[in-house]
Amino acid sequence: MKLGRAVRGSYLSLVFVFLYAPVAVLIVFSFNAAKSRSVWGGFTLEWYRKLFSNAEILSSLRVTLIVALLSAAIATLVATVTCIGLDGLTKRRRAVVMNLTYVPIVNPDLVTGISLMLLFVFLQLPLGFVTLLLAHVAFNIPYAILSILPKMKQLDRHLYEAALDLGAKPSQAIARVILPEIMPGVVTAMILTFTLSIDDFVISYFTSGASVSNLAITIYSMARKSVNPQINALSALMFLTVLVLLLVVNFRSNRDLGKTKEGRTR
């Protein structure tokens, strides 16, 4: 029994080492005074200083944050309305809609990016900030729906009817009764879609055009020219940002699950 636990523990440790060792090396060498990727030249914060004075990177960061915030807000709003609407459908129709929702998630990003690019070209939309934003909204919506839908399933179906019986209008019942109940899922969807938008490269590459560039595209362009240590610093900051956001999402999910179990035991 103890041997089995030791083997499982060792295997799990090896998996995590394999996954995170490259990230650890990247973070360590972001503080390397030498430009070499194999020689340690001493500790320095020079690359972080140059990073925050790099106009190209700062411009890409601004575009990334604006697109991430807007796409997350729009996708979460659309997903919230969709989930409320799905709750009123029959089981068969709900299954059809959910199967259509899964398609963009399992579809390769390469196919999604090329498809969106062809769609924008067909609609004669010039590739730029608007098409980049629309593309991010499109691939964020399914993830937002899957984040909010579990809260809708946990919702008591009689709450909405009870609010109407007490004199509330349909809009008031949704705003004051339904939304507060599913708000943890809405917040989780917002954080998750924001993270996914920051992280995306393939879809952004095909839908951004030459006039606009986010951080992922900028990093790719810089890496093709040379291995700039500023890339290490930028990647380290992006990794820590995404890690913090994912920890917040997991913390909220675990807390909500704990409250649900506590409510059931009572």
Q: State both tokens at 219.
A: 């990093």
Please give the full DSSP string across 81-125, using - where no structure is assigned: HHHHHHTTS-HHHHHHHHHHHHHHHHS-HHHHHHHHHHHHHHTTP
43 — phi, psi (to 5°)?
A: -85, 140
Burial grade of 239 (CB within 10 A; 0-12, 13-18, 19 or more): middle
Residue type for 126, please?
P
Q: State both tokens at 67.
A: 């697109």
Q: Is residue 214 within 8 Å of residue 205, measured between CB atoms?
A: no
The Cα 185–Cα 87 span in angstroms is: 15
pLDDT digits (tens, 9 = 90+) for 69-84: 999 999 999 999 988 8
Q: Is residue 195 within 8 Å of residue 75, measured between CB atoms?
A: no
CATH number given to 54-265: 1.10.3720.10
**Cα torsion at 86, 88, 91, 93 (round to 10°)?**
-60
- CA 77 to the chain's CA centroid: 15
CA distances 61 to 45, 81, 217, 240, 248, Å, are 20, 30, 11, 15, 22
Q: Is residue 71 within 8 Å of residue 199, measured between CB atoms?
A: no
In the chain, where the domains are located = 54-265
Kindly give the confidence (pLDDT) of every residue in the chain, 266 residues in length, as a single tens digit, with 9 standing for 90 and above. 566 777 788 888 888 888 888 888 888 888 888 777 677 878 888 888 888 888 888 888 899 999 999 999 999 999 999 888 887 777 888 888 888 888 888 888 889 999 999 999 999 999 999 999 999 999 999 999 988 988 888 877 777 778 777 777 877 888 888 888 888 889 889 988 998 898 888 999 999 888 888 888 888 887 777 667 888 888 888 888 878 877 877 776 667 666 655 555 55
Host H or E run for residue 220? helix 215-225
**Tokens 């309305």 map to which residue?**
81
Host H or E run for residue 251? helix 229-265
Q: State both tokens at 125.
A: 């939309």
CA atoms within 13 A on the CB side of 62: 8
| Cβ neighbours around 124 below 10 Å, total | 6
